[in-house]
Amino acid sequence: MSDGAPPSPDRGDGGVVLVARELGIDTHQEYVIYMHRDCPVCRAEGFAAQARVAVRIGERSLVATLNVVQADWLAMHEVGFSTSAWNALRASTGGQVFVSHAPPLESASALRSKIFGHRLDAAQIGAIVADIAAGNYSDAHIAAFLSAGAGGRMDLQETVDMTAAMVAVGDRLSWQRTPIADKHSVGGLPGNRTTPIVVAIAAAAGLTVPKTSSRAITSPAGTADVMETMTRVALDLPAMRRVVEREGACLVWGGAVSLSPADDLLIRVARPLDLDGDAQLVASVLSKKLAAGATHVVIDMPVGPTAKVRSESDANRLRELLEQVASALGLHVRVLLSDGAQPVGRGIGPALEARDVLAVLRRELAAPADLRARAIALAASLLEFCGRSRAGEGQSDATKILDAGFAWNKFQAICEAQGGLREPVRAARTHPVLAEHDGFVSAIDNRRLARLAKLAGAPAVAAAGLELHVRLGESVTPGTPLFTLHAEAPGELAYALSYLASHPVLSISREEKP
């Protein structure tokens, strides 16, 4: 147009044509678009803030939440995109966008039924999970579904149906062999990075272990974050299959493959609400194992006063539910309760935990003994469970595989197949925290330690976190190093120290050790 005015939006097939603009706003996995309040489309279609709208660019479409902009930084003919929506639609600046009313949410009636305490059948749960995976549910819808099922309000059959539905909406791998092994931890314990060691031992023993892992959401590191400091983890399904066929195992990021995609969306909403209900946890864990083609899974369940699972009664209830749901779906599961009173290993944060893993695999004299022992115990259980070791001989077999260097060789081979092995990075800044008086370490707060590591920059900054130097029951004197903070930026180090000043993470008692 000669006067420089923006083009007028005109009607097109499926809605009104507007112009795409990337805003660079991170809304995580939630799809969000932005339109000016005076946009003729908003007026003509009756769109208001928080409306759910259908957005189409070319052949790609999704349902997004609308945010209405009152300032002039967004033109009336533009549609602004969050990063997740922009990437999902493979949008380009200036491209034509069609916006229309979202289709009716057919599963909403089932969701309302569950909110009012009614039991759902398999078809209703399947419809809800399918809508979640398709992106048709807003965060408010997902939060309502999670809340309606929390606190024991989802029975055994509903949990089975939810797990099966989460598998059904994604890809599912199959392998021309059996058994297919896997190992999982319910989490809640800083460090405890046993998975890479267990996978290496199991694969060196001849087991097939197609291991997918998550990134951290609220913790200082997930297994995928730790592995990413040493090798490439964002493999697609064909690449993942090639690695497994070549080396018998992989250690990849589950977010790069479409295995139980609804789970990632449920977790994203559940974590900020601290809604870690048994049914959702069980469906989350088992759906991913089933989708990866596992037949035998060993699950580590740390139990402790500041772990995710706080008491033995809670652990037994959760273990029974895991075993019952797994059995109903044809999956063999063995749940092992472990000590969750303190972190496992020394490092808390991606690179620091990776250095612990490498120290154990390389059989270094200074390797964390507790991490080595727990990894061997879990690997031993997996070897016996899958028939690679005779009953009672798994511990000896796993120890020999580790001590002879076979696990280290296998780990290197897996990393090379995934793109090469590299050494974890080191932080630019460190700050030791010292004991102020005599005594012994009487308590360690796992949750506060995790919070402290995150304030130092983990997991976004791979080298950040903290390194623990003492264990429960150890004696200390004034000046004894308790732990060392690792950070890249002075501001992050300052945040961590400010938190520490009012939130002690270790208790040093002057009383005699029990």
The answer to whether residue 276 is catalytic is: yes
Strand ranges for 446-503 from DSSP E: 465-468, 475-476, 481-487
Give the tokens for residue 146: 């999670």
Residues 352/357/362/363 CA torsion (nearest 10 deg) = 100
Name 476's bridge partners: 439
> Which of 113, 88, 108, 86 lies closest to 20, judged by CA?
86
Alpha helices in 193-330 (DSSP H): 195-204, 223-228, 237-247, 261-273, 278-291, 312-328
> Which secondary-structure segment (H or E) carries 138?
none
Q: Which of 161, 263, 276, 300 is catalytic?
A: 276
**Integer Cα distance of 3 and 77 in angstroms:** 16
**Integer Cα distance of 126 and 336 in angstroms:** 31
Spatial CB neighbours of 512, under 8 Å, sequence gap ≥ 6: none
> Which of 251, 252, 249, 276 lies closest to 263, judged by CA?
276
> Which of 279, 292, 386, 286 lies closest to 329, judged by CA?
286
**Integer Cα distance of 27 and 64 in angstroms:** 11
Is residue 487 within 8 Å of residue 494, measured between CB atoms? no
Is residue 122 within 8 Å of residue 161, measured between CB atoms? yes
**Rounded to 5 degrees, what are φ and ψ at 322?**
-60, -45
> Which of 294, 358, 302 lies closest to 329, judged by CA?
294
Please give the distance of CA 19 from its chain centroid, rounded to a whole number: 35
Sort residue 94 into left (φ over 0), alpha (ψ -120 to 50) or beta.
left
Residues 349/354/357/358 CA torsion (nearest 10 deg) = -150
> Which of 445, 443, 442, 185 lies closest to 307, judged by CA?
445
Spatial CB neighbours of 60, under 8 Å, sequence gap ≥ 6: 88, 89, 90
**Integer Cα distance of 57 and 238 in angstroms:** 28
Spatial CB neighbours of 178, under 8 Å, sequence gap ≥ 6: 295
Residue 13 has, within 13 A of its CA and on its CB side, a CA count of 3
Active site residues: 276
